[in-house]
Structure 1
């Protein structure tokens, strides 16, 4: 298992949000899964991708079109 873990700074940059938002989410026990190694917070790319997929919303028209095909 040779995956590059993301830092809080890298994830905040990816999502264009503040690091404080990620910190708040962790304190509220919400948001993306994370690893706490010693005092360091790291995110696995697969967890980030899964969270992004879970947040995906499709417009209603796209759902209707998909249903009719």
Structure 2
């Protein structure tokens, strides 16, 4: 089984193929997208589960429907 056979989703397969054809383009695109990601948070090198990470967006109306669905499906632990 080759590396490409272990990739599950179509977008991931397309990204892998494009990276094989134009690795510089993919690297530059990811570096550009990285500029929009937040800097490391206040916990430094410590690790934390994603469910315990909160930001102003995760406490906003943007996440309300997801939170309500999780509560309705008894997924709050």
Question: Normalised by the shorter chain, which TM-score bucket?
Answer: under 0.3
Higher RCO, 1 vs 2 (CA within 8 Å, ≥6 residues apart):
1
Q: Taking structure 1 as the reference length, what is the TM-score of the superposition?
A: 0.25
Larger Rg: 2
Higher strand share: 1
Q: Taking structure 2 as the reference length, what is the TM-score of the superposition?
A: 0.24
